[in-house]
Structure 1
Amino acid sequence: MDQPLLGALEAGGTKMVCATGYADGTILESSEIPTLDPGATLEQVVAWFSSHDIQALGIGAFGPTAVDPASPRFGSILETPKTAWRNVDLLGALAQPLGVPCGYDTDVNAACLGEAIFGCAQGMSDVVYLTIGTGIGAGVMVNHQLVHGMMHPEAGHILLTRDPADPIGTESGCPYHASCAEGLIAGPAIKRRWGGKRASELADDPKAMALLAGYLAQALVTYILCYSPKKIIIGGGVADHTPLVALARPRVRELLNGYLVTPEIENIDTYIVNNSLDGRQGILGCLELARRALES
């Protein structure tokens, strides 16, 4: 029996990744469209999927975005720094012209789902997926359900204690918070401190890596204590191209200070890990969102 062709859209702030595939995780074709003017960008996205005869579409959107189906703004981009996209009905702009069932969530929740269905967290009920790149986002799964709540987790903006040796100055890389995780660890913060350098250029700088690992460890301890995940998976350019994850593990243990005694903390090298799907976790999660939309 032929599998239904599914569409997956990883709607990022820089690019829209469009893909087709099957519910078993097979990705058949993909294409990238720059995230520019909403009207022109979404017209191209609709045209791409219209030419592929998909039967359902899974959308993982950059945020903040409304993910509660009961909300009158469900599927809309909210107060994003990308001002042209504020209040854009992303879901409606795609579902109406394509005429197929659509699943909708945040891009990081989709990535979390991808790891839970196809990656290193298969079968696990409680997972945190963290992406560290231009910003920091977190996807959270509790008891097999992606967490939404009032909106959705914005765990990249938890407040951290500043390292007195941090050369970043009074401002951070976040326009909203002077001491949040995104403002201290993500790409703009790294460039601000080190003369425009990218994380990959600092991978061999022990002082820089130790500073960032200390901040990441603070954030991870908060996620561990609040969400009690069975695995933490970290992706994004900053994590993928530096030893940051490995360096943060012993710092997490130090900060926990023996308070938690679990097999996960005991085996911390397999508990806090880099992403396992070579950057495909978001698209694979979107395929799963499409599968669920088609089934329901």
Structure 2
Amino acid sequence: MTTRVGGIEAGGTKFVCVVGTGPEDIHAQVRIPTTTPEATLGAALAFFQEQGLQGGRLGALGIASFGPLDLHPGSPTYGFITSTAKPGWKNVDVVGAFRRALDIPVGFDTDVNGAALGEGRWGAARGLDTFVYLTVGTGIGGGGVINHQRMHGLIHPEMGHIWLPRSPDEVPSFQGVCPYHGGCFEGLASGPALHRRWGGQAETLPEHHPAWALEAHYISLAISNFIATLSPQRIILGGGVMEQKHLYPLVRDEVRRLLNGYIQAPSILERMDAYIVPPALGGLSGAAGALALAQRALEGGG
């Protein structure tokens, strides 16, 4: 019998806390608004303590969090959110709060690496060893797996903050919304960028609005860079902005145009609709990834 574990998809707007063994076996779930660290972490901890009383002690906890994060186990700030722009959350010890209170193994990674892990175990990347998960929403982030290993290193991937050339179709006065870089990928193509540039939420813009061709161009520039540098076998493209389903064919066509025949792979030349895909787990990618992190921690894999 698979051990029951806990998972947290820790986002900038909400924490999704789940208990179960996988996306098809979730026993309990709660959504907690991301306010102050004390209130948010306290409410999440109370949920897992209650679940432990009701269903027995959890085997482990996985946390897939917004960042940047310190993921180096030997570091004195391992488990911390570090230089985030989220007010009040800079240098917050996320892992320590749960490890001390619950006394169970805790797996920790970025929200996008977690989502990639979930899609790799149960979703759109099953059977693949090298793939990328991108989320385009309130922020933009990317993570993934190379040769079955999550992408770590100096810190972890920050795919939302790569520099992109400004499109000649860009609104001249628009300089981007990223507080660190202005016109990086996140600064040009996130949900807040769409709102500031066009004056409306993404879901209110009609399908043929010029916003979407520009959005697809920026997303495709980034994807083309990731294809050239990481050579993923598949790209999973999620997030709130990508709920506008008409974006997928625009992105696929633009990626093919930008690559201009240089990458000679059947997935790109013939099967682009199976290469750039939505998450198979839908809105559960991050929470499922957190459960997968917990299972790895339980197995001693971190």
CA distance in 2, matches of 1:123, 1:3: 21
In structure 1, give the amino acid aligned to 2:262. Answer: Y
State whether structure 2 residue 213 is matched by structure 1 residue 210: yes
The secondary structure found in structure 1 opposite 2:168 is coil
CA distance in 2, matches of 1:275, 1:202: 23
TM-score by length of 1: 0.96
Alignment of 1:111-150 (within 5 A): 111-150=115-154
CA distance in 2, matches of 1:151, 1:168: 34
CA distance in 1, matches of 2:59, 2:143: 26
Listed one character per residue, the Cα deviations across residues 33-81 of structure 1 (whole Å, up to 9, x for unaligned) are 1111111221111111011122210100110111122322111000101
**CA shift at 1:249, angstroms?**
0.8
Listed one character per residue, the Cα deviations across residues 136-184 of structure 1 (whole Å, up to 9, x for unaligned) are 0001210011101001100011111111221162421211223211111
Matching residue of 1:101: 105
Alignment of 1:256-275 (within 5 A): 256-266=259-269, 267-275=271-279
State whether structure 2 residue 188 is matched by structure 1 residue 189: no
CA contact (8 A) 1:102 1:290 kept: yes
The secondary structure found in structure 2 opposite 1:52 is helix
State whether structure 2 residue 110 is matched by structure 1 residue 69: no
Instruction: Count matched residues.
Output: 294
The secondary structure found in structure 1 opposite 2:109 is strand
**CA shift at 1:87, angstroms?**
0.8
Q: Does 204-213 or 137-146 show the bigger shift? A: 204-213
**CA shift at 1:24, angstroms?**
7.4
CA distance in 2, matches of 1:48, 1:117: 26
Identity of aligned residues (%): 47
Q: Does 221-230 or 200-209 show the bigger shift? A: 200-209
Matching residue of 2:18: 19
Change (3 A) 1:105 1:244: same
Listed one character per residue, the Cα deviations across residues 272-292 of structure 1 (whole Å, up to 9, x for unaligned) are 111111210111111111111
CA contact (8 A) 2:116 2:144 kept: yes
CA contact (8 A) 1:231 1:272 kept: yes
The secondary structure found in structure 2 opposite 1:85 is coil
251, 254, 257: which one pairs with 1:251?
A: 254
Two-structure CA RMSD over aligned residues (Å): 1.3
Matching residue of 1:32: 31
70, 87, 90: which one pairs with 1:83?
A: 87
CA contact (8 A) 1:112 1:281 kept: yes
CA distance in 2, matches of 1:29, 1:241: 29
Listed one character per residue, the Cα deviations across residues 171-199 of structure 1 (whole Å, up to 9, x for unaligned) are 2121122321111111111011111x111
Matching residue of 1:198: 201
Q: Does 119-128 or 16-25 show the bigger shift? A: 16-25
CA contact (8 A) 2:174 2:197 kept: no
Q: What stretches of structure 2 of length at least 5 have no aligned partner?
A: 53-57
CA distance in 2, matches of 1:242, 1:121: 20
Query: After the TM superposition, which segments of 4 or more aligned residues of structure 1 sit over 6 Å from their partners?
Result: none
Matching residue of 1:163: 167
Matching residue of 1:241: 244
CA contact (8 A) 1:68 1:148 kept: no
Q: What stretches of structure 1 of length at least 5 have no aligned partner?
A: none
**CA shift at 1:243, angstroms?**
1.7
CA contact (8 A) 2:66 2:111 kept: yes
**CA shift at 1:23, angstroms?**
4.8
CA distance in 1, matches of 2:84, 2:211: 29
CA distance in 2, matches of 1:258, 1:242: 25
Listed one character per residue, the Cα deviations across residues 201-244 of structure 1 (whole Å, up to 9, x for unaligned) are 12413421111111111000001011110000011110113422
CA distance in 2, matches of 1:137, 1:84: 20
CA distance in 2, matches of 1:260, 1:254: 11
TM-score by length of 2: 0.94
CA distance in 2, matches of 1:213, 1:178: 19
